[in-house]
Copies of this chain bind each other. A is one copy, B any other.
Amino acid sequence: MSRVCVGVDIGGTSVKIGIFTTEGIIQKKWEIPTRKEESGIHILEDVALSIQHTVSEMKLGMEEIIGIGIGVPGPVVNEKKVIQCVNLGWENVEVADKMKELTGIENIKVANDANVAALGEMWKGGGEGYKSIVMVTLGTGVGGGIIADGKILTGSNGAAGEIGHVTVNPSETVVCNCDKRGCLEQYASATGIVRETKKALEHTDKDTVLKKAEHLSAKMIFDAAKAGDEFAKEMVENLGYYLGLALGTVAQVVDPEAFVIGGGVSRAGDILIKTIERYYDKYVMMALKNKTFCLATLGNDAGIYGSAKLILD
């Protein structure tokens, strides 16, 4: 085997690790638990040990590792340092320096997890072949990552690409998790579409299967819409409107080649993409119409792909 690169995706519950060829072919992937006790001081030690162990099992020498890329759930400074990661208990952690010490490997790069997921999807996922993409993850919340000309757009405080908190409804009265009102996340996340649907159910006369649903979920709403339920179709339109409006604005700002849609809600597939596209085209100028919208394909592995790609750039 020629030289390899390692991608690490640190989450609040587990750390995903992958070993890749420089062409992006995955050789091995595994998970270890995230040890959060003592302000998470053991997390990087665990990762380093686990990499050394696996590499030796694979009969590779550590010198065959070109570098280690690390995705973390928080903003990152200079591809090296984390100021705060609430989910890990980290404050002011010199992630790159510490990993260098632990492994002896020089080439260590660190980035935000939503951003490395976007980079991963561009490298080997739904956005393969493009150099400038916007990735939107529709899960419990709405996450975002922007790749411009092959590089992560981090912003001056690491807060670029926070698409979930673009204000799409200035007259909203309900407060978002981020403390402001009218964020995209309030309408386009799995939680958001359920909330909007429950609200609308209280006022509709329409006959809909969703009235009988005990534990309403985003999947139920999309399934009902696909089956022709008029009320459910309106709910999908509502979500498509907010996403189209927000992504239209994102395009006016960064002009990507393609949008990659991921996260649990994206399993709705074609109906979601088509609805977003319809509204998107309404809210962008001529030169930005007809962008490519595609589905993410790497699922939970996007982070390890993107982290590995970090150190190849």
Interface string of A54-82 (1 = CB under 8 A from B): 00000000000000000000010000000
For residue A224, CB closer than 8 A to chain B, the reply is no
Among A8-16, A87-95, A154-162, the one that faces the other chain is A154-162
Q: Mark A168-191, 1 if CB is under 8 A from B, else 0.
A: 001000000011100000000000
Asked if residues A167 and B248 are in contact (CB atoms below 8 Å), the reply is yes
A245 to B287, CA, bound (A): 23
Q: How far is the CA of A156 from the CA of B284 in the complex (A)?
A: 15
Q: Which residues of B contact A294 (CB under 8 A)?
A: none
Pick the contact of A157: B156, B250, B253, B288 (CB < 8 A): B288
Assuming the A-B contacts A245-B170, A285-B165, are A132 and B155 also in contact, with contact meaning beta carbons closer than 8 angstroms in the complex?
yes
Does A274 count as interface, using CB distance less than 8 angstroms? no
**How close is A295's CB to chain B, nearest CB, in angstroms?**
20
Say yes or no for A255: interface residue by CB 8 A criterion.
Answer: yes
Question: Does chain B have a CB within 8 A of A300?
Answer: no
Identify the closest chain B residue to A178 (Cβ). Answer: B285
Q: State whether the Cβ of A257 lies closer than 8 Å to any Cβ in chain B.
A: yes
Per-residue B-contact encoding for A119-154, CB less than 8 Å = 1, 0 else: 000000000000110000000000000101000011
| Nearest CB on B from A164, distance (A) | 9
Which residues on the B side are within 8 Å of A158 (C-beta)? 255
* A166 beta carbon closer than 8 Å to chain B: yes
The answer to whether A27 has its CB under 8 Å from any CB of chain B is no
Residues A287 and B75 in contact, CB atoms below 8 Å apart: yes
CB distance from A170 to the nearest CB of B (A): 6
The answer, yes or no, to whether A163 is at the interface (CB within 8 Å) is yes
User: In the bound complex, how far is the Cα of B157 from the Cα of A288, in angstroms?
Assistant: 8
Q: Check A160/B287 contact, CB under 8 A, given A148-B148, A245-B167.
A: no
Task: Give the one of A163, A257, A288 with max B CB within 10 A.
Answer: A288
Main DSSP-derived SS at the A contact region: loop
Please pick, from B131, B146, B285, the residue contacting A159 in the complex, using a CB distance under 8 A.
Answer: B285
Residue of B nearest to A130 (CB): B156
Chain B neighbourhood of A254, CB < 8 A: 146, 153, 155, 160, 253-254
User: In the complex, what residue of chain B is closest to A179 when comparing beta carbons?
Assistant: B286
Contact: B252 with A166, CB < 8 Å?
A: yes
Do the beta carbons of B250 and A253 come within 8 Å of each other? Answer: yes
**A53 contacts partner chain B, Cβ-Cβ < 8 Å:** no
Instruction: Say if the beta carbon of A282 comes within 8 Å of chain B.
Output: yes
A154 partner residues in chain B, CB cutoff 8 A: 255
A253/B255 in contact, CB under 8 A? no
Known A155-B132, A284-B180: A160·B249 in contact at CB below 8 Å: no
Q: Is the CB of B146 within 8 A of A253?
A: yes
In the complex, A63 Cα to B208 Cα: how many Å? 77
Chain B contacts of A170 at CB under 8 A?
245, 283
Q: Is the CB of B245 within 8 A of A160?
A: no
Chain A: residues with CB nearer than 8 A to chain B? 75, 131-132, 146, 148, 153-163, 165-167, 170, 178-180, 245, 248-257, 282-288
